[in-house]
Amino acid sequence: MNFVYHVEGGDFTNAGSTSSQVKRMLKKIGVSPEIVKKTVVALYEAEVNIVAHAYRGDITVDLEEDHIKIVLADEGPGIPDIDRAMQKGYSTASQKVREMGFGAGMGLPNIKNNSDSLNITSEVGKGTTIELINYFQ
Amino acid sequence: MTLKEIKDLVQGEIICGEDYLDQQIECVFASDLMSDVLTLKDVNNLLLLTGLSNLQSIRTCEMSDISFLLIVRGKEVTEEMKELAEDNDMVVIRTEYSMYKTSGILYNAGLPAVY
C-alpha cells in the first residue's frame, strides 16, 4: 500500500500531522508499540526538518507486510555536507525553529538511531531526499 | 505518586485529562528541547516537565507515547493544543512555578529522574 502526504515549509501548525496519521495506521495493523514508536520518532524528526528547512516536500509511505519504507523528498536548499549534518549538535536552524523546541542538531542523529536502514541524498539548491526502512520483526 | 498529588504540590491547574488524575507517576524528565524528549526509550508512567507550550510539545508527547505533561512557568495553552492533547487522551497540567522550582518540589517529594 502506498500513501503520499504533502508538507509545506514553514507550516509549524501542521508539522507532525503526517507522523500522526502514520502512527494511527501502524497501530491499527498491529505493529508492536516499540517499532511504531521508533518509526514515528524518525518520521516526525524528518517531517519537522522539511517544515524547518525546505520550501515543500512529499512524504511517500510504502507499507509492506514485513516493513515500512518512508521516502521524504523535499525541494529546498539541500545539505552541503551530510556527514557534518549527521553530527550531534550541528545545526543551521533558524530562531523560529528553535522556539518550536527543535534545531539543536539532534534531528538527523535521532532519525539514524530510530531506523533500520537510512539513506540520505542531497543536492545543494535543489533539495534533500531521505529514505528510511523499518522492519516489523 | 498520583497526578492529583503532583497537581496539588505545584499548585497546578488541570488543562485536560481530569478523569485520569489517579494515574501513578514513577519518574520525571524535564526539557524544553523536543529532540531530547524524542530520545527517551522507556516512558511508562513518565511525567514530562516543559516550558515549551506549543503544538510541537503535544505532538512530541504523541510520538513518544508520553501521556502526562506538566507545563511550567505559567505558559499559555491554546485551544488547539488542548484539542490535540484530548485526542491523545493526555493529562495536561499547568503551573506558575519555574522549571527548577517544580523539579525541586517533585524530586523532594520522592519522584526520581528518568535518568
In a domain, B115, yes or no: no
Q: How far is CA B61 from CA A15, A131, B8, in A?
A: 14, 24, 23
Q: Which three cell numbers stand for residue A105?
A: 542538531
Estimate the share of chain B in helix, then strand, then coil, as percent rounded to the nearest 5.
Answer: 35, 20, 40
Going by C-alpha positions, the residue among A12, A9, A39 that lies closest to residue A23 is A39
- List the domains of chain A with CATH numbers: 2-135 (3.30.565.10)
ipTM for the complex shown: 0.94
Q: Collect all residues of chain A within an 8 Å Cβ-Cβ radius of residue B52.
A: 100-101
Structure confidence by residue, pLDDT tens digits, A24-37 = 999 999 999 999 99
Structure confidence by residue, pLDDT tens digits, B26-35 = 999 999 999 9
Domain that holds residue B49: 3-108
Please report which confidence band the pLDDT of residue B14 belongs to, taking 50, 70 and 90 as the band edges.
very high
In a domain, B24, yes or no: yes
- Can you give the pLDDT at residue B82? 98
In a domain, B74, yes or no: yes
- Can you give the pLDDT at residue A1? 86
CB contact under 8 A, B56 and A15: yes
Q: What is the mean pLDDT of residues B84-101?
A: 98
* pLDDT higher than 90, residue B113: yes
- Can you give the pLDDT at residue B76? 94
Q: Which three cell numbers stand for residue B101?
A: 522550582
Q: What is the mean pLDDT of residues A87-106?
A: 93
CB contact under 8 A, B62 and A12: no
The owner of cell 507515547 is B65
Residue of A nearest to B56 (CA): A100
Query: In whole numbers, what is the pLDDT of chain A averaged over residues?
Result: 96
- Distance, in Å, from the CA atom of A32 to the CA atom of A75, rounded to the nearest integer, reads 33
A-B contacts at Cβ under 8 angstroms: 67
Q: Which three cell numbers stand for residue B76?
A: 499559555
Helix, coil or strand: residue B59 = helix
Residue of B nearest to A43 (CA): B63
In a domain, B114, yes or no: no
- CB A109: neighbour CB atoms within 10 A? 18
Q: Which CATH number do you get for residue B75?
A: 3.40.1390.20
In a domain, B15, yes or no: yes
Return the percentage of chain B with pLDDT > 90, whole number.
Answer: 99
Structure confidence by residue, pLDDT tens digits, A48-88 = 999 999 999 999 999 999 999 999 999 999 999 999 999 99
CB contact under 8 A, B59 and A41: no
Please give the tally of structural domains in chain B: 1
CB contact under 8 A, A101 and B33: yes
Q: What is the mean pLDDT of residues A120-124?
A: 97
In a domain, B48, yes or no: yes
In a domain, B77, yes or no: yes
In a domain, B113, yes or no: no
- Can you give the pLDDT at residue A137? 87
Q: Collect all residues of chain A within an 8 Å Cβ-Cβ radius of residue B56.
A: 12, 15-16, 48, 100-102
